A and B are shown apart, each in its own frame.
Chain A
Amino acid sequence: NAGVTQTPKFQVLKTGQSMTLQCAQDMNHEYMSWYRQDPGMGLRLIHYSVGAGITDQGEVPNGYNVSRSTTEDFPLRLLSAAPSQTSVYFCASTEQGALSGNTIYFGEGSWLTVV
């Protein structure tokens, strides 16, 4: 009964370090996405993927990379961490994408602090 699993839950980084947030889902969903959530800004889409091998940019993609080599995994890479990337990150997946009205399942969130 795993659903969407993302790790780590908490991470502190120094400015300039790189790291990868892992996300995996076991529901065979085609659509996966990464959001960040900041106070007063709501959830903002970073990158999304409509299937293995296909990714696209969301609203705030700068400073982040993604890849989708398998249906299950959708890691988010911070190339050179900056304090502005301090945020809560949510990975999400859905069966057929937002247009179908399918429920989106979120991971538990990753709290990232860049000092």
Chain B
Amino acid sequence: GQNIDQPTEMTATEGAIVQINCTYQTSGFNGLFWYQQHAGEAPTFLSYNVLDGLEEKGRFSSFLSRSKGYSYLLLKELQMKDSASYLCAAPPRGFQKLVFGTGTRLLVSP
């Protein structure tokens, strides 16, 4: 099958740093996406990693290790508005569709 795993829920404090992990089958996927989804809204694009390493984009960074089937999303200087679900997703090799993990619900408290 095509499995993507991520924690169900995480909590953090405003101003802190949080890392959301995502693991997937190494033989299956080309690259990895991260999406943010606020409650009651559509997902919005955050990042796409196709090569190993860290990509930084403002307060958000995303890391990929293809050999380990592992990615993480790093959120710095957390703000209350970062409370949302974070979805990792990947296209199975050779397919133009996207398989999503179940999402990690992040709760940022004051």
Task: Enumerate chain A interface residues (CB-CB to B < 8 A).
Answer: 31, 33, 35, 40-45, 48, 50, 58-59, 90, 97-99, 101, 103-104, 106-109
A101 touches B50 (CB 8 A): yes
Across the interface, B42 reaches (CB within 8 A) one of A42, A103, A106, namely A106
The smallest C-beta distance from A95 to any residue of chain B, in angstroms, reads 11
Using CB atoms and an 8 Å cutoff, list the residues of chain B in contact with chain A: 8, 30-31, 33, 40-45, 48, 50, 87, 89, 91, 94-103
Whole-angstrom CA separation of A31 from B97 in the bound complex: 9
Question: For residue A43, which residues in chain B have a CB less than 8 angstroms away from its CB?
Answer: 43, 87, 89, 100, 103
Residues of chain B within 8 A of A101, CB atoms compared: 31, 33, 48, 50
Chain B's closest residue to A109 (CB) is B42
Contacting pair A103 B97 (CB below 8 A): no
A45 interface neighbour in B40, B48, B87, B99, Cβ under 8 Å: B99
A104-B101 contact in complex given A31-B96, A97-B96, A98-B96, C-beta closer than 8 Å: no
How many Å from the CB of A107 to the closest CB on chain B?
Answer: 6
Closest A residue to B93 by beta carbon equals A99
- Shortest Cβ distance from residue A20 to the other chain B in the assembled complex, whole angstroms: 20
Whole-angstrom distance between the alpha carbons of A103 and B102 in the complex? Answer: 19
Chain B positions within 8 Å of A97 at CB level: 91, 96-97
Inter-chain contacts of B96 with A (CB < 8 A): 31, 48, 50, 97-99
Q: List 24 A-B contacts (CB under 8 A).
A: A33-B98, A35-B100, A42-B87, A42-B102, A42-B103, A43-B43, A43-B100, A45-B97, A45-B98, A48-B96, A48-B97, A59-B99, A97-B91, A97-B96, A98-B33, A99-B30, A99-B91, A101-B31, A101-B48, A103-B45, A104-B33, A104-B98, A108-B42, A109-B41
